Amino acid sequence: MNRHLTQLKIRRSGLGDVKHRSYLLPRELGGERRGSGRGRGRGRREKFSLALGEEKGERRGRGLGFTRQDGEGEGDQGYAPICLGLEDFYVRRLYLRIQDCFGRPIASSPDAWFDVVERYSNDYNKTLHRTEKTTRCLNLGSYNYLGFAAADEYCTPRVIQSLKEYSPSTCSVRVDGGTTKLHVELEELVARFVGKEAAILFGMGYVTNSALIPCLIGKGGLIISDSLNHNSIVNGARGSGATVRVFQHNTPSHLEEVLREQIAEGQPRTHRPWKKIIVIVEGIYSMEGELCKLPEIIAVCKKYKAYTYLDEAHSIGAVGQSGRGVCELLGVDPADVDIMMGTFTKSFGSCGGYIAASKEIIQYLKYSCPAHLYATSMSPPAVQQVISAIKVILGEDGSSRGAQKLARIRENSNFFRSELHKMGFEVLGDNDSPVMPIMLYNPAKIPAFSRECLRKNVAVVTVAFPATPLLLARARICISASHTREDLIKALEVISKVGDLIGVKYFPAEPPKHLIQSHNKLE
């Protein structure tokens, strides 16, 4: 490349965002190119812009490139652009053309079926416009694992009552006037549910990780993180100031290699012993649907005196005989996990997150965590929703609906995964996991799969770069206890037809008679 051009840098930030850097010429900053005329320099720049797919004359004020405008036709008046003018090639040439496959608005609760708002575009999906029409679709995209996101005979009346008794918001932080008796009750209930001494609540699941990790460890500490951990963990680790090392996804043997190497080397430059070491893993990895190899990882952590931090956002409530997550499912004593994190947005149909640990750790977090000290506390109705959902799961509502939901999510997940395998799809993940990614690979198959399923009234979530590597696109299916066997069979029939149409059945399929046999075994 010309030495007068800066290198295009695309830096991934965990699994969540991409930061863009522009190509900038000295002439664009007011300078001249040495040994060349203005026309010659302009021609090279234009050719270079066209090679990247950037149309001549639209470098500023287009798409993501916004600058300060003091008047019609005036320039940036010396202000740097808030958003960079040269858009990323992927965003311009792929994402904006398949934007209709993402962020589809809905007009109902995210139950087994929901209403998807129809949209249209006049510029090849660069901008989308909503209509008043909706389409009733089978929901295979929401994290509504136990079906609590819809109206519930036990939860909903109590949530409405809490709204009347309290308010939609506490309008205060926990240390001021933002703690109600509901917050205290939920903290005690969560601690009892997961098997820890105490718990603390946060208003947002993402913030639970990103704001809490810097409170637990800082400079002189070592974080060893699974390579496929969630972006909230990645950002929390980066913001902590601790040294961060990564081990191969769900590979305890490599974790041990990293631990041994880092303990032997010590801190950078000084080689002093680490102040503390924390290993961070997830119960169910949301983009892979895989269960954490928790027993083996805990054994390694104990051997090298490292703390274990377990993110159960997708596993708490969804797996285990009584919904207590991967510890219960894999036979791990919760006392062996030092810090347990979870969210209320998946299995409990609410919002927010929690940390469960020893009383000393929780008390320390209440005095030091910014998300507890400075952020508005959870909405009382949201707190009541979680309380009611957990009581249903535990059978404290006086019924067996909780046990039935847990049995149904397990049966639905294993049935659906098994049938997808039989059809010839490449499906990631483990049994009992309600998350099952179907590999598409080619980015061109993203819109084909998503649009064809939607035409047949099945709503699916497709996942692309930067949430996954560029050539590892996938459709992520999330199963719910609210799905009936008829719902799942309809979904399988649609997905099978679409898979044949776009060519994503990468393995030989079994005869289709198994669907009929499964249908005859309905309870």
User: Which pLDDT tens digit goes with each residue over 1-40?
Assistant: 444 434 333 333 443 343 333 333 333 334 443 344 444 4
- pLDDT score of 52: 44
Task: Kindly state the helix (H) or strand (E) to which residue 341 belongs, with its residue range.
Answer: strand 339-343
CATH topology assigned to domain 97-139+401-520: Aspartate Aminotransferase, domain 1 (3.90.1150)
- pLDDT score of 12: 38
- pLDDT score of 92: 76
- pLDDT score of 203: 94
Q: Look up the pTM and report it.
A: 0.83
- pLDDT score of 1: 44
- pLDDT score of 90: 75
- φ/ψ region of 441 (left if φ > 0, alpha if ψ in -120 to 50, else beta) reads left
Residues of the chain where predicted confidence (pLDDT) is lower than 50 = 1-42, 44-67, 70-74, 86, 516, 521-523
- pLDDT score of 89: 72
Structural domain spans, the chain: 10-91, 97-139+401-520, 155-394
* Neighbour order of strands in the sheet with 129-139: 113-120, 129-139, 458-459
List, in sequence order, the alpha helices (H) in 337-444. Answer: 359-368, 370-373, 380-394, 401-423
- pLDDT score of 495: 98
Tell me how far CA of residue 223 lies from CA of 241, 300, 395, in angstroms.
10, 15, 39
Single out the residue of 224, 220, 174 nearest to residue 378, CA to CA: 174
Give the pairing of strands 198-202 and 243-247. Answer: unpaired
List pLDDT tens digits, range 389-413. 999 999 999 999 999 999 999 999 9
- pLDDT score of 306: 98
- Which CATH architecture fits 155-394? 3-Layer(aba) Sandwich (3.40)
The burial of 354, by beta-carbon neighbours within 10 Å (0-12 exposed, 13-18 middle, 19 or more buried), is given as: buried
The pair of three-digit structure tokens given for residue 406, joined into one six-digit string = 């847990």
